[in-house]
Every structure is written in structure tokens, then in C-alpha cells.
Amino acid sequence: MPSKLLTCLTLALLVASGCVTMSRYKDLEARVAALEKDKAELQAEQQRNRERMERLHQDMQDATEALRKGGANLGADVDALKVDTARLKGAFEEVTYNLARLSEEVDRIKKALDEKLGIALVQLPKGLPEDADSLMRAGREAVAKGDTMTARGVLRKFLDTFPDDPRAGEAQFLVGEAYFKEGKYGQAIREYQRVHDKYREHPMMPKALMRIAESLIKQNDCKKAQGVLKYLMDTDRKSAGQARDMLNNLKRKCK
């Protein structure tokens, strides 16, 4: 029975990522916001230090030129400027190190949220209109260009804002494509599975199942891939021929 096959498919393909409470998500979100604030402050301090170093460098050049022209009494001023420059250089290097460390931590948390929870904390393109057509267009373009993080952020915003739009199934499929392009096949399977579960009547659903099979093959899981292809042959006649060819080819490769 199709319902039994559907249940088996869902149980076989769902990737368990652990139980994440809403409070845990809120904690992570707050942590990212705090780190982003610290990062912005360090970047501002880094810029101020850079400007001060440039001014000191110019002062040293001016003092050295004056000393060369006969102002021997400026020697002490030059020495003082050298000390200030060395001190400022040390502060600049410390800020740069802390900024790099903070950036790594922010990126690590964002990556975990994206891969484990399907939450993309990315800066959306400035001036991006928030109507359905513009979001969908931007999502498609980002996937085509390989800007996968931005693509997931834009497409998930589309899905959150316009869940009943006729293109929602395509948007969900493209989220899977963004992961597939990165070679993150486990996450891709999860997103393609959602096309099947939530948008079963959408034209992209058979292609999503085909992509699940391809992702499983990439993971060297021939048995599950064969099961998905057989299920596709039973549920979508239009895709049956392509699924059968892929299944026959897979049987020759996988023993």
C-alpha cells in the first residue's frame, strides 16, 4: 500500500539531529547577536587604530625630515613617536587576533544552526524587496551563482513569509539544492524529504525524490537509494522510466 511505503520511506530517510528546545535556540540566537555586537566594536576599534597608526607614521616622516634639515633637538620627539607606534602596533595586533577569534566563533555557531536546525542566520542582500516575486527571484539567482548560504536565507524567508505560495515547493527544493551543491548530502536529503512531505502534489516532488536517491548514492548507501527509486516508480508514472534506468544502472554498480 502507498501509505505503508510512505511510512517506510519517511522512517528510513529522516535524519535524527537530536531534540533541540526552543529555549536552547533562543540562547544560541542571543549568543550570536552578542558576538556580532562585539565583532562590530572590535572592527571599529581596529579602524581607529589603523587611522592612528597612519597619522603617527606621517608624524614620524615629518619629524625625520625636520631632523634631517638640522633640527637635532627633534631627536627625542622621533624616539617618542617610535615608542608610541610600537605600542599602537601591539594593540592593533591584539584587536586583529580577537576579531579573528570572534569571527570564527560566530561562523561556527551559524554553521551549526544552519546544518543541524535548518536556520540560516545570514545577512540578506541590502535593499532586497520582501515581496514574493523578488524573494523567489533572488533565491533562484543565488543558487545559480553558487551563493548557497544567501540562497538558503532568502528561500527560507520566502517560505516563512509565503508558506501557501504555489512556488513554495520549488523554494523548498532549492534549499535542498543549495546543500547538494555544497556536497552536504545528509542535509540535502532532509530538505528534499520536506518537499515530499509538505508539497506532495508539487511538480518538483518527483525530482526531489530523484535527488534523494542521488544523495544516498553519494553517501554510498545503495540499498536505500534503490528503495527510493522503487518508491518513485510506484508513485509517479512520468518519472518511472528515468527511475527504472537509474535503478538498473545502480544494480550493476552496487553488489
Residue 56 pLDDT grade (very low, low, confident, very high; cuts 50, 70, 90): low
> How open is the CA angle 162-168-171, to the nearest 5 degrees?
110
Q: Report the SS3 class of residue 167.
A: coil
- Does the pLDDT at position 211 exceed 90? yes
Q: Report the SS3 class of residue 146.
A: coil
Comparing C-alpha atoms, which of 152, 81, 161, 159 is closest to residue 123?
152
Inter-residue contact 147 to 178 (CB < 8 Å): no
Inter-residue contact 78 to 64 (CB < 8 Å): yes
| Separation between Cα atoms, residue 186 and residue 17, nearest integer Å | 11
Inter-residue contact 149 to 122 (CB < 8 Å): yes
Percentage with pLDDT > 70 across the chain: 60
Helices (H), the chain: 2-13, 22-68, 75-112, 132-145, 148-161, 168-182, 185-198, 205-218, 222-235, 237-253
Highest mean pLDDT among 14-18, 92-96, 112-116, 212-216: 212-216
| Average pLDDT score over residue span 123-151 | 90
pLDDT on residue 10: 45
- Does the pLDDT at position 119 exceed 70? no
